[in-house]
Amino acid sequence: MAYFRYLAILCACLGAALAVPVSAQRANYIEADLVAEEAPVAGETLTVALRFRPQEGWHGYWANPGDAGEGMRLDWQLPEGWEAGEPLYPVPRELELLGLINHVYKDPYAVLVPLEVPASAAVSVNPEVSVDAQWLACSDRLCVPERATLTLRYPQQTPELAAQFDAHRAAIPPLLDSEASLAIAGDTLRLAIPLPASLDLADPHVFLEQKDVIDYAAPQAFYRDGNMLVAEIARGGLRNEPGELNGILAFADEGEGVRFSAAPGEVPTGGTRIGGQSSETPLALLLGGALLGGLLLNLMPCVFPILSLKALTLARAGGEERQARIEGLAYTAGVVLACLALGALLLVLRAGGAQIGWAFQLQEPLVVAALLVVATLITANFAGLFEIPSLPIRTRGEGGAFMTGLLAAVVATPCTGPFMAAALGAALLLPAPQALLLFAMLGLGLALPFLLLGFVPALRRMLPKPGAWMETFRRILAIPMGLTALALAWLAIRLGGMSFAFAALALSILPVVALAARRNANRVVAGIALVAALYFAGSLPFRVEEQVARSESVLEPQAYSQEALAEARASGVPVFLWFTADWCLTCKVNEQVAIEREATREAFEEAGVIAMRGDWTRRDPAITRYLEEWQVAGVPLYVWYPAGSEGEQLPQVLTPDALVELAESAD
């Protein structure tokens, strides 16, 4: 819940205000002093250091404190003509409390401030300089506003003092000579920061000085494009429209980084993904997983009938060796091309800032409606309601085989979850050429059985000989295809609502009526059916409902959001979080086997487990970002948060008692 974050910020501010009288009666939790590097020289810049020493368990804040907290305020008392420049901070660190991300300093730190001394200044006697400083000191339980009037000390120059200022100056990230570029792509801020390609960046992070521009808790994605580092960060807060931005790019080693300034400009797309989320799995192993996953997809109810019918065309071909090989290659080309096209589109959209994942096409109501039409036509054709020799499923030859391959790949993508989790997750993190190689390998696995039938005569000889049984078998195959059509009709309800589903179902049935009427030479009925089909096709985009009902659950889960998860984890009880979609077959099987069970509900109630569900049936950028954090490209994803501990990912195929055992172990 978004209001939780702002409520926490309000409480922190109220607590700080109420603590003002107390702070005046005690020593500060963060001690501070003001010291000069050297004696002032007229016409030159004098560097002074505001040095802070937090007590154990306390911390101070960067200029932009993050989701909560307060930055430092300075009121200088300077001699006439002197001017104070902008404070220079060391690299902060992230601190998460109750789901709020703060930018803090826990160890002693120094903020350097340049003081411009005019050429006319009298500096024979060290002039008096002071500052009224206010800052916020916080622990994990309490925030206290603190203040002090600090008078500048001019200590005697010693090697120790010089070494201290050298350390203070080394902690300040240097400013890049070249300006960075910024662009807004949907809900994402994109930055292009000029950095040499030779600079090793293991785990970069961007801290912005401007408030209410980005979501501080969102994962940050980084890509290397030659001598340019591209950062992509989800927008958040009040979503201020940035004109120019200043910030710090922090590196893996604590305290290292560079400062940058960014102005609107061109930000490249693509590049090589870097950072803590990069895949460590060997590419060869990922390719093997993609091949195996594609091979297993042939057993899915929406793919198996298509493969079976194409296999029967080879049985009819008898000893036509050349034709069998041509069809095998054409089918493979169709499958691989479809997988490459879907993968490339996914990578391009994500590079442009879209928060989407694999099987994204099934989150679009109109795509589901089109698949419903195709599945209904195939079902009717299998059932013998009409015969059209030009249908891809019926055609012998490379054209029909190619189109069948395209169809098989498109309808198979929602079933990739349990087989392709690691490979598809890595594909979103790898360079584009390697990612596309993974998608191609998925297609090759899907096409492999038919390809082998085309090139291995011994396998073709194992196929039953053509006969009357083939028509019976074809009608039997209408059953799984019909079930696929029913599943798509149900998905249309979940995606677009009842009115949309009715129109999609009418659009899928009316062409069958038209074809059957044409078969019986009833042109009037065929014409009426086609006109009605055109009407429903034109009305489909306008029937999609903004909100549709979600599936009921015996666990009565909370809806996932970043704030809700943070609040649930802060309650001190275990949390079970699962991500599902109505088009995900594996998700639904797991829910019936392990989640939607009375035994699971009773175990959760006894252990006080909070159940939370993320529904990815429709596109949801927040869910996509969370999936990215766990390096997966799609659903299902199951995460168990023990009380007071970090989450652990559960297997994608759950056993019946898996969740019951977890809940019992948490008692």
- 147-206 pLDDT, tens per residue? 999 999 988 778 888 888 989 998 999 999 899 999 887 778 889 999 888 777 777 899
45-54/83-84 β-pairing: unpaired
Burial class of residue 288 (count of CB atoms within 10 Å of its CB; 0-12, 13-18, 19+): middle
> Per the domain annotation, does 532 fall within a domain?
no
Same domain assignment for residues 228 and 353 = no
Residue 40 or residue 621, greater confidence: 40
169 Rama sector, left if φ>0, alpha if ψ -120 to 50, beta otherwise? alpha
This model's pTM is above 0.75: no
Same domain assignment for residues 316 and 403 = yes
pLDDT digits (tens, 9 = 90+) for 86-145: 999 999 999 887 667 899 999 999 999 999 999 988 877 888 999 999 999 988 778 889
> Per the domain annotation, does 333 fall within a domain?
yes
- DSSP code at position 218: S
**Does the structure show a pLDDT above 50 at 19?**
no
Average pLDDT, the chain: 81
| Per-residue H/E/C for 2-17 | HHHHHHHHHHHHHHHH
**Does the structure show a pLDDT above 50 at 462?**
yes
Same domain assignment for residues 268 and 306 = no
Listed in order, strand segments (DSSP E) in 549-661 are 558-559, 575-580, 610-615, 637-641, 648-649
Same domain assignment for residues 236 and 377 = no
Comparing CA positions, the residue from 192, 213, 188 lying closest to residue 352 is 188
Same domain assignment for residues 361 and 473 = yes
The CATH number for 209's domain is 2.60.40
Other CB atoms within 10 Å distance of the CB of residue 229: 25
> Per the domain annotation, does 548 fall within a domain?
no
Same domain assignment for residues 223 and 353 = no
**Does the structure show a pLDDT above 50 at 38?**
yes
> Per the domain annotation, does 411 fall within a domain?
yes
Domain count, the chain: 4
Q: Answer for the pair 549, 325: CB distance below 8 angstroms, yes or no.
A: no
Residue whose pair of structure tokens reads 């993190």 in the numeric block: 429
> Per the domain annotation, does 634 fall within a domain?
yes
Rounded distance between C-alpha atoms, residue 512 and residue 249, angstroms:
60
Buried-exposed string 449-472: b where 16+ CB fall within 10 A, e elsewhere: bbbebbeeeeebeeeeeeeeeeee
3-state secondary structure (DSSP) of residue 197: coil
- DSSP code at position 43: T
Comparing CA positions, the residue from 502, 575, 573, 514 lying closest to residue 540 is 502
Residues with Cβ within 8 Å of residue 147, at least 6 apart in sequence: 23, 132, 133, 134, 135
Same domain assignment for residues 118 and 187 = no
- DSSP code at position 155: P
Domain boundary among 148, 171, 194: 171
Which range among 110-114, 212-216, 416-420 shows the weakest confidence by mean pLDDT? Answer: 416-420
> Per the domain annotation, does 527 fall within a domain?
no
And the tokens for 285? 């192993």
Number of H helices, E strands in the chain: 19, 23
Provide the residue type at 34 as one letter.
Answer: L
**Does the structure show a pLDDT above 80 at 277?**
no
Listed in order, strand segments (DSSP E) in 459-525 are none
Same domain assignment for residues 62 and 195 = no
What's the pLDDT at 351? 60
> Per the domain annotation, does 519 fall within a domain?
no
What's the pLDDT at 557? 92
What's the pLDDT at 270? 66
Domain boundary among 209, 239, 274: 274
Instruction: Pinpoint the alpha helices (H) of 46-202.
Output: 159-171
The CATH number for 107's domain is 2.60.40.1250
The helix-helix angle for 304-317 and 432-455 (nearest 10°) equals 40
And the tokens for 420? 């392709």
Same domain assignment for residues 348 and 454 = yes
Domain boundary among 241, 274, 307: 274
User: Which residues form the domain of 318?
Assistant: 283-478
Q: How far is CA 588 from CA 216, 472, 497, 581, 657, in A?
A: 34, 31, 20, 8, 16
Alpha carbon of residue 665 to chain centroid:
31
Same domain assignment for residues 346 and 462 = yes
Which range among 264-268, 272-276, 354-358 shows the weakest confidence by mean pLDDT? Answer: 354-358
Same domain assignment for residues 385 and 308 = yes
For 51-79, what is the mean pLDDT?
91
The CATH number for 616's domain is 3.40.30.10
Q: Answer for the pair 408, 295: CB distance below 8 angstroms, yes or no.
A: no
**Does the structure show a pLDDT above 90 at 34?**
yes
Comparing CA positions, the residue from 64, 304, 318, 43 lying closest to residue 206 is 64
What's the pLDDT at 248? 95
205-208/245-250 β-pairing: antiparallel
- Assess whether the previous peptide bond of 194 is cis (omega < 30° from 0): no
Residues with Cβ within 8 Å of residue 615, at least 6 apart in sequence: 550, 551, 559, 560, 579, 580, 581, 582, 623
Q: What is the largest CA-CA distance in the chain?
A: 112
pLDDT digits (tens, 9 = 90+) for 314-360: 665 555 778 788 888 888 898 899 888 877 876 776 665 555 555 66
And the tokens for 19? 């603590």
| Per-residue H/E/C for 331-362 | HHHHHHHHHHHHHHHHHHHHHCCCCCCCCHHH
pLDDT band at 298 (very low <50, low <70, confident <90, very high): confident
Which range among 21-30, 399-408, 451-460, 513-522 shows the weakest confidence by mean pLDDT? Answer: 21-30
| Phi and psi angles of residue 206, each rounded to the nearest 5 degrees, phi first | -100, 130
> Per the domain annotation, does 288 fall within a domain?
yes
Q: How far is CA 479 from CA 114, 248, 375, 493, in A?
A: 79, 60, 11, 21
Q: How far is CA 428 from CA 274, 520, 602, in A?
A: 11, 52, 38
Burial class of residue 578 (count of CB atoms within 10 Å of its CB; 0-12, 13-18, 19+): buried
Other CB atoms within 10 Å distance of the CB of residue 399: 14
Provide the residue type at 630 as one letter.
Answer: W
pLDDT digits (tens, 9 = 90+) for 349-384: 666 555 555 566 677 888 888 888 888 888 888 888
Buried-exposed string 258-279: b where 16+ CB fall within 10 A, e elsewhere: bbbebeeeebebebbbbbebeb
Same domain assignment for residues 9 and 131 = yes
Residue 638 or residue 582, greater confidence: 638
Which range among 70-84, 388-402, 435-449, 575-589 shows the weakest confidence by mean pLDDT? Answer: 388-402
Percent of the chain with pLDDT over 70: 81
180-185/257-264 β-pairing: parallel
What's the pLDDT at 48? 94
